[in-house]
Amino acid sequence: MSAPHTGTAEIPGTIVSFPAGAVAEEARVLLVDRQGGETVVVLDRTPFHPVDHTWPDQPGDRGVLEGEGFRVDVVEAVMAARSVDGAFAVGVGIPVKRGAEGWTWLVGHRIGGEAPASLVPGATVRASADEGLRSALSRGHTACHLASLALDAAVADLWRKDPGADALGVADFEGRANQSSRIRPDGAVDEYRLGKSLRKAGFDTEGFAASLAEREERINARLAEWVASAAESRIETDGPTIADRRRWVCALPDGTASILCGGTHASSLAEFASIRVGLDLGDPQLLVMTTTAVPSS
């Protein structure tokens, strides 16, 4: 942590416009922090989506900041926080949980190299996220959620006990077994634990392994149906800042799904030509689901 260069004693939480799909924003510099050979810039508002240090599934946006006499690359947008006594922390260095008293949550823009002399608190900048990367990651994140819901439905008959319900009211394999999720452009890779604890929870792991190809076919058939529906996909928010809760909502043929999610998403399933998954059980204790989306032309 460090005491950053700031032009004001109070730093408000960053207002974010990425939930509405924005990729560009006029903003004012609030804070410039230099530590460990890197520079992190905080703006009063931003279209950049930051990587979440507590669940880093979707990468942070990249792009540029432009102002009077300068143009700098943003190599990654990250979560940041500032305490009432002026301590500033970034990513995994943040020492408190979200909502902790005395801390304000921010979006940090990591820039390559030193900040230009005119990039200082109070300066006006145009913040522009890489639109192509954003679109591809948004499709990847939407596809990831859809694949997880389709997976839940495809294995629902393998539960001997009630594991709780997912966003469509189906037995929640995703919530019980997922141990990691990584969003990538037009796709995702998810890993699920298939060990003793899942068997004790009532899941038939042997039956799943014996019918893996059939389960994959079920998932892909459901995904094809959902893509064909061209359903609306959107983000709902509880407020305008990075600290406010956000949800992904999609009106699927099987019902409307609503999932807490801090990422970005496609605005409609019409953005996809197809979404398919591949299931791998090379390690019988670990299911790897690879999701691949093909954007519509």
Query: Residue 210 corresponds to which tokens in the numbers above?
Result: 């014996």
Q: How confident is the model at residue 7 (pLDDT cuts 50, 70, 90)?
A: very low
**Cα dist. 251→10, 131, 170, 225 in Å?**
41, 25, 16, 13
Residues 190-197: contacts with CB within 8 Å, 24+ apart? Answer: 190/144, 190/147, 190/148, 190/288, 190/289, 190/291, 191/286, 191/287, 191/288, 191/289, 192/286, 192/287, 192/288, 192/289, 193/285, 193/286, 194/281, 194/284, 194/285, 194/286, 194/287, 195/285
The pLDDT of 267-275, averaged and rounded, is: 98
User: 106-115, 247-256, 273-282: lowest mean pLDDT where?
Assistant: 106-115
What topology is assigned to 133-295 in CATH?
A: Threonyl-tRNA Synthetase; Chain A, domain 2 (3.30.980)
Reply yes or no on whether the pLDDT at 9 is more than 60: no
The region of weakest confidence among 4-13, 175-184, 243-252 is 4-13
- Please state whether the predicted TM-score (pTM) of the whole model is above 0.75: yes
CA atoms of 107 and 118, how far apart (whole Å): 20
Q: Outline which parts of the chain fall under CATH 3.30.980.10.
A: 133-295
Query: Residue 3: is its pLDDT beyond 70?
Result: no
- Judge contact between 18 and 52, C-beta under 8 A: no
Model confidence at 8: pLDDT above 90:
no
* Residue of 91 and 11 predicted with greater confidence: 91
Q: How does strand 15-16 pair with strand 45-46?
A: parallel
Read off the pLDDT of each residue in 52-66 and give the average, rounded to a whole number: 97
% of the chain residues with pLDDT over 70:
97
- Predicted confidence (pLDDT) at residue 178 exceeds the cutoff of 70: yes
Asked whether residue 170 carries a pLDDT value surpassing 90, the answer given is: yes
The DSSP letter of residue 197 is H
| pLDDT bucket at 6, cuts 50 / 70 / 90 | very low
Please say if the pLDDT value at position 36 is more than 90.
no
- Minimal CA–CA distance to 177: which of 146, 152, 144? 152
Tell me: pLDDT of 99 over 90: no
Rounded-to-integer distance, Cα 165 and Cα 280, Å: 24
Q: Is the pLDDT of residue 53 over 80?
A: yes
Q: Which of 1-10, 30-39, 127-136 has the lowest mean pLDDT?
A: 1-10
Over residues 191-212, the mean pLDDT reads 97
pLDDT in tens, 139-166: 999 999 999 999 999 999 999 999 999 9
- The confidence score (pLDDT) of residue 297 equals 84
- Amino acid 207: pLDDT: 98
Average pLDDT over residues 104-123: 94
Question: CATH 2.40.30.130: which residues of the chain?
Answer: 5-129
Please give the average per-residue pLDDT across 220-247, as a whole number: 98
- The whole-number average pLDDT for the span 6-33 is 88
The neighbouring-strand residues paired with 67 are: 70
> Alpha-carbon Rg of the chain, whole angstroms?
21
**Coil, strand or helix at 133:** helix
Once rounded to an integer, what is the mean pLDDT over residues 59-85?
96
In this prediction, residue 272 carries a pLDDT of 98
> SS3 letters for 226-241?
HHHHCCEEEEEECCCE
Question: Mean pLDDT score of the chain, rounded to an integer?
Answer: 95
Higher-confidence position of 3 and 244: 244
CATH class of segment(s) 5-129: mainly beta
